[in-house]
Structures are given as C-alpha cells and as structure tokens.
C-alpha cells in the first residue's frame, strides 16, 4: 500500500546544513516553517496562555490530545463547534495525538490487547476500549489538521520481546488507521517504535513506509532513553525515513535536546516542559540555561529574565517582580513564565532555521548549553 499527500498539504525542504533541515509545511489552516516547536494544549488549551497571546509570541501550531478530549468534554461537543479550531478559538494548524502516549503513562489503568487498549477513565473510572478505528473516528470528529495513528509506546525498561510485540501491534494498527481514515483534509502520521533496538527500529520504519503515510513520527524516545543511544536512533531514522516527508520527534522541549534532534533531521517536536516548568517558577533561556525564580538571589534583581527576549514578561517586568509572583503563588506568574518559555523555544527554532539557511548551524548549535 502506498500513501499520498492529502489535498491542501505539502512539505518542502527549503535548505540543508548537514542533516539539519529547514522546511515549509502547508496546511489548510496555515503555513508552518520548520524547525518548529509545538506547544502542548492537551485538553484544548495551552495552560496559562490564551490563543491571542500564543499568536503574539509566534506559535505556529499547537497540539491537543484526542484521548482526553473524547472523555471530556466529548467529541460531540467539540464537533458542535465545527471542530477544535472553533472550540478553542485557534485559527492556526492543530495536531491531535491519538492517545498512544497514555498507553505508556497510564500503565496502571490500562490493558493492551491485540484489538486496542482497554482503559479505566482517569475521570470517573469507567471502562473504554481505544481501537485504531475509534481513534480515527474521534480525531476526524475533532477536526485537527494533522492526526496520529494509534501506537503502542512501551517503557524504556521493556525487554526485547515486549518491544517486538509493540512494533508488531503498532504496524498492524497503523494499517488499520490508514484504512479507517475517511477525511482527505487531514494529514495522517505513522509512528515508528522499537526503543533503541536498531533491528526493531528498521523493521518498524520499513513496515510503516510500506503502508504509506503523509509524515512520520519518531516515538518511544522520550520515555526514559537519553544520551548517545537516543541520538543514534534519531540518526538512523534520518537514514531510513523518506527524505521528502515531514519528521516529528514526539516529546522533546529542552533547548539542548531540540538542537540535537534538529541536527539529525527532525522538523517538528512537542513537549510539556516549557509550560510545566513555568508553573514551578522556572524560566528557560534559549541558550539552554534555566533560572529558578523562587531563588532568593532574584529578590532585588531589577533585570528582566532575559534582556535579549521580546516576550511580554521580559519586555515589562523584572526578575524581582516575577519572583514575587512565584512566591505569592499568583496566577500571573504562570502566564508570564509560560509565554517566556514558549517564546524562548520559538526563537531558538527561528535561530536554527536562519543558521541552516546560511550554513552556520553547527556554530549555532555549539552555543546552546545542556548538550
């Protein structure tokens, strides 16, 4: 079976510097310039950030989770608004995850079977069976521009037999998702699994390419595996995945990690890190450093978090003021730090794109700490 790019979508590679790529993804709701960080809005909202503020800081696309939204408020409620774009007031592109990550993160509340995943709801304990066909139906009703196949994401501690079984299910479910998808205005992504096992990664990539997808994701590398083995796996994907298709690394959001995967041919990525750390009082700088604003050292610090940053937080407020908000548990601290952290990653991606275009990516990457 071979895939084709859905109408209204295109992806082109505009420039290269080594393995690093700068590209353009065209969707029905707008253009995404890559490399691109996607803020996570699991329940149809990026925590502590309004759609207008996300536009102002340059967010091009956001991610939501179909598994959560199917339970609360229900896909019928979202569909009654014309889909997620109308429901959440976001006019730019949206990607929905299928719930495959919940197969990993909710291991104590689910049972994987050949036909899908049986879950106990985190909301009311009710039992649900998530199947490839059901995932496609939910994501079509939600109406995101980009949707994901259902996959099995095993933990980093999984043995080879468990990894192999997950690859087999992921490939089979991918074919079922492709067959069940009916809308031609959504781009469907297949997810490569296999842990850090080279043979299983090769098998997974080969089987998904045979099904044929509009784009490919690298899954299962944000669940505990890090370091050189992770990066070697990403390099392997660069060699195996189609060169003309978008590549998505699922679950990375620290500046050093972003630079590392961009250097190995990844185009888009997401993570809760910038929003989650914001809610704990931590600011991310695009050079890889982190500032814990709860630290007493900032009590009388009149400087902005980052003098070179153009976000609303850095344009208008001092470190001392933000520390005051953090210590007093004021909600404004969450908003300001969220916008700062996302803007830092947006600017990091803009820097990477510009550097790729001029052949200076390696120098730019070397300036980012935490690598």
pLDDT tens string 236-274: 999 999 999 999 999 999 999 999 999 999 999 999 999
Percent share of the chain, pLDDT over 90 = 87
Q: Which residues contact 294 (CB under 8 A, 6 or more apart)?
A: 281, 323, 326, 327
Catalytic residue from among 17, 97, 306, 351 = 97
Catalytic annotation present for 145: no
Neighbours of 199 (CB within 10 A): 11
Candidates 366, 353, 338; CA nearest to 39 is 338
Average pLDDT over residues 54-59: 98
pLDDT at 155: 87
Catalytic annotation present for 138: no
Q: Which two tokens stand for residue 304?
A: 């902005």
Structure confidence at residue 277 as a pLDDT band (50, 70, 90): very high
Catalytic residue from among 17, 145, 238, 270 = 270
| 118-148 tens-digit pLDDT | 988 889 898 989 999 999 999 999 999 999 9
pLDDT at 107: 81
pLDDT at 3: 43
d(CA 193, CA 188): 16
Q: Is 43 helix (H, G, I), strand (E, B) or coil?
A: coil
pLDDT at 28: 97
Q: Residue 245 carries which DSSP code?
A: S
Q: Is 123 exposed, middle or buried (0-12, 13-18, 19+ CB in 10 A)?
A: exposed
Candidates 277, 287, 285, 278; CA nearest to 303 is 285
Average pLDDT over residues 97-102: 84
> Is the bond into 35 cis (omega within 30 degrees of 0)?
yes
Candidates 302, 248, 311, 233; CA nearest to 278 is 311
Candidates 23, 21, 26; CA nearest to 10 is 26
CA-to-CA separations, 217 to 122, 265, 295, in angstroms, rounded: 26, 12, 38
Residue 226: pLDDT above 80? Answer: no
Here the contacts of 51-57 (C-beta below 8 Å, separation 24 or greater) are 51/88, 51/89, 51/90, 51/91, 53/312, 53/335, 53/339, 54/90, 54/342, 55/92, 56/312, 57/311, 57/312, 57/339, 57/342, 57/343, 57/346
More confident residue, 334 or 105: 334
Structure confidence at residue 2 as a pLDDT band (50, 70, 90): very low
Average pLDDT over residues 288-313: 98
Residue 288: pLDDT above 80? Answer: yes
User: What's the whole-number average pLDDT of the chain?
Assistant: 95
Supply the angle between the helices 228-240 and 198-211 in degrees, to the nearest 10.
30
Q: Could you tell me the pTM of the whole model? A: 0.96
**Strand pairing partners for 30?**
27
Architecture of the domain defined by 10-271: Alpha-Beta Barrel (3.20)
Q: Which two tokens stand for residue 332?
A: 């404004």
Q: Is 340 left (phi over 0), alpha (psi -120 to 50) or beta?
A: alpha
Residue 98: pLDDT above 60? Answer: yes
Residue 279: pLDDT above 70? Answer: yes
Q: Spell 92-107 as b/e; 16+ CB within 10 A means b.
A: bbbbbbbbbbbbbebe
pLDDT at 244: 97
Residue 4: pLDDT above 90? Answer: no
| 185-217 tens-digit pLDDT | 999 999 999 999 999 999 999 999 999 999 999
Q: Is 141 helix (H, G, I), strand (E, B) or coil?
A: helix
d(CA 59, CA 57): 6
How far from each other are the two terminal CA atoms of the chain, in whole angstroms? 40
Structure confidence at residue 224 as a pLDDT band (50, 70, 90): low
Average pLDDT over residues 350-360: 98
DSSP alpha helix (H) spans, 47-180: 51-56, 66-71, 75-80, 84-88, 100-105, 132-142, 160-180
Structure confidence at residue 156 as a pLDDT band (50, 70, 90): confident
Domain edges within the chain: 10-271
pLDDT at 217: 98
**Strand pairing partners for 16?**
21
Structure confidence at residue 1 as a pLDDT band (50, 70, 90): very low
**Strand pairing partners for 27?**
30
pLDDT at 219: 95
């Amino acid at each position: 079976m071979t895939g084709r790019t859905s109408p209204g979508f295109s992806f082109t590679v505009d420039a290269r510097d080594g393995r690093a790529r700068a590209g353009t993804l065209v969707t029905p709701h707008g253009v995404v310039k890559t490399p691109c960080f996607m803020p996570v809005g699991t329940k149809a909202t990026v925590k502590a950030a309004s759609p207008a503020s996300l536009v102002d800081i340059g967010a091009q696309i956001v991610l939501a989770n179909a598994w959560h939204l199917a339970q609360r408020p229900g896909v019928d409620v979202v569909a009654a608004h014309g889909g997620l774009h109308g429901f959440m007031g976001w006019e730019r592109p949206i990607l929905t995850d299928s719930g495959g990550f919940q197969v990993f993160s909710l291991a104590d509340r689910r049972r994987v079977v050949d036909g899908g995943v049986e879950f106990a709801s985190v909301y009311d304990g009710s039992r649900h069976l998530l199947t490839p066909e059901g995932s496609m139906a939910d994501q079509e009703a939600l109406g995101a521009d980009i949707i994901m196949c259902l996959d099995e994401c095993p933990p980093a501690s999984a043995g080879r037999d468990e990894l192999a079984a997950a690859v087999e299910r992921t490939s089979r479910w991918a074919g079922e998702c492709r067959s069940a998808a009916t809308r031609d205005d959504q781009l469907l992504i297949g997810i490569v699994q296999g842990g850090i096992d080279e043979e299983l990664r090769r098998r997974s990539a080969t089987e998904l390419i045979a099904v044929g997808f509009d784009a490919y994701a690298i899954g299962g590398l944000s669940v505990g595996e890090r370091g050189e083995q992770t990066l070697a796996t990403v390099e392997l994907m660069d060699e195996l995945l189609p060169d003309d298709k978008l590549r998505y690394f699922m679950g990375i959001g620290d500046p050093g990690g972003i630079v590392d995967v961009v250097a190995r041919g990844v185009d888009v990525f997401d993570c809760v890190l910038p929003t989650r750390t914001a809610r704990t009082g931590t600011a991310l700088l695009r050079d890889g450093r982190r500032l814990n604003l709860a630290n007493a050292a900032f009590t009388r610090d009149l400087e902005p978090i980052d003098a070179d940053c153009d976000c609303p937080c850095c344009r208008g407020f001092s470190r001392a003021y933000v520390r005051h908000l953090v210590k007093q548990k004021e909600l404004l601290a969450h908003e300001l730090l969220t916008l700062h952290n996302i803007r830092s990653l947006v600017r990091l991606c803009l820097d990477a794109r510009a550097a790729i275009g001029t052949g200076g990516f390696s120098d730019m990457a070397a300036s980012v700490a935490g690598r």
